[in-house]
Amino acid sequence: MKVLLINPPMQVGDVPKFPSFGIAYIAQELKRCGYVVEILDIDAYRYSKTEVIQFIEKNDADFIGIGGLVTVYPYLHWLIPQLKRLRPATQIILGGPVASSLREKCFKEFAIDYEVIGEGEVTLIELLKELSANRIPRKVRGIGFRENGKIVFTEMRPLMSSLDGVPIFDDTLFPMEALLKNAEGAIQIHAQRGCPSNCTFCFNSFRVVGKDVRYRPVNNVLNEIEYLKHKYGHKLVLFAISGECIASNKEWLVNFCQEIINRKLDIKYRITSRVDTIDIERLTWLKKSGCIMMSFGLESGSAKMLKVMGKGTTVEQARRAVALARKYIPTIEASIILGYIGETKKTLRETVTFCKEIGVEPYLFCALPLPGTALYKMALKGNFIKNEDEYLMNLDQQVILKFSVNLTDMRDDKEAKKEIEAAINAIKKHYAWKKTMRLSTYSNIILRLKNRGLSKTLNELAPNLRKLFLPPNKRLN
Is 177 among the domain residues? Answer: no
- Radius of gyration from C-alpha coordinates of the chain: 23
First to last CA, the chain: 47
- The predicted pLDDT at position 188 comes to 94
- The predicted pLDDT at position 473 comes to 45
Domain extent at residue 122 = 2-153
428 contacts 422 by C-beta, under 8 angstroms: no
- The predicted pLDDT at position 467 comes to 47
Residue 304 has pLDDT above 60, yes or no: yes
Is 374 among the domain residues? Answer: yes
For 456-475, what is the mean pLDDT?
Answer: 54
Q: In the chain, what percentage of residues exceed pLDDT 90? A: 74
- The predicted pLDDT at position 196 comes to 86
Whether residues 143 and 224 fall in one domain? no
Count of domains for the chain:
3
| Distance from C-alpha of 243 to C-alpha of 189, rounded to nearest angstrom | 9
| Distance from C-alpha of 177 to C-alpha of 280, rounded to nearest angstrom | 37
Residue 415 has pLDDT above 80, yes or no: yes
For 156-180, what is the mean pLDDT?
Answer: 91
Backbone angles phi, psi at 433, to 5 degrees: -75, -40
Cβ neighbours of residue 30 closer than 8 Å, sequence gap 6 or more = 3, 5, 37, 124, 125, 128
Is 160 among the domain residues? Answer: no
Whether residues 423 and 444 fall in one domain? no
Sign, CA torsion 133/137/143/146: positive
Question: What are the pLDDT digits (tens) for 106-124?
Answer: 999 999 999 999 999 999 9
Whether residues 192 and 142 fall in one domain? no
Question: What are the pLDDT digits (tens) for 335-347?
Answer: 999 999 999 999 9
Whether residues 428 and 445 fall in one domain? no
| Distance from C-alpha of 7 to C-alpha of 79, rounded to nearest angstrom | 11
Whether residues 447 and 335 fall in one domain? no
For 452-470, what is the mean pLDDT?
Answer: 60
Under the banding of pLDDT at 50, 70 and 90, the label for residue 233 is confident
Whether residues 450 and 424 fall in one domain? no
Is 375 among the domain residues? Answer: yes
Question: What are the pLDDT digits (tens) for 211-231?
Answer: 789 999 999 999 999 999 999
- The predicted pLDDT at position 118 comes to 92
Which H helix or E strand runs over 297? strand 291-299
Whether residues 83 and 216 fall in one domain? no
| Distance from C-alpha of 364 to C-alpha of 328, rounded to nearest angstrom | 24
Is 179 among the domain residues? Answer: no
Is 178 among the domain residues? Answer: no
From the list 343, 272, 257, 260, the residue with the least C-alpha distance to 304 is: 343
Question: What are the pLDDT digits (tens) for 358-407?
Answer: 988 899 999 999 999 999 999 999 999 999 999 999 988 876 778 889 99
For 226-241, what is the mean pLDDT?
Answer: 92
Is 175 among the domain residues? Answer: no
Question: What are the pLDDT digits (tens) for 306-322?
Answer: 999 999 999 999 999 99
- The predicted pLDDT at position 209 comes to 61
191 contacts 169 by C-beta, under 8 angstroms: no
What is the CATH classification number for the domain harbouring 94? 3.40.50.280
Whether residues 8 and 95 fall in one domain? yes
Q: What pTM, to 2 d.p., does this model score?
A: 0.88
What is the CATH classification number for the domain harbouring 330? 3.80.30.20
- The predicted pLDDT at position 204 comes to 65
Whether residues 469 and 385 fall in one domain? no
Whether residues 419 and 448 fall in one domain? no
Residue 433 has pLDDT above 90, yes or no: no
Whether residues 472 and 429 fall in one domain? no
Whether residues 128 and 243 fall in one domain? no
Is 167 among the domain residues? Answer: no
Average pLDDT of the chain, as a whole number? 90
- The predicted pLDDT at position 475 comes to 41
Residue 440 has pLDDT above 60, yes or no: no
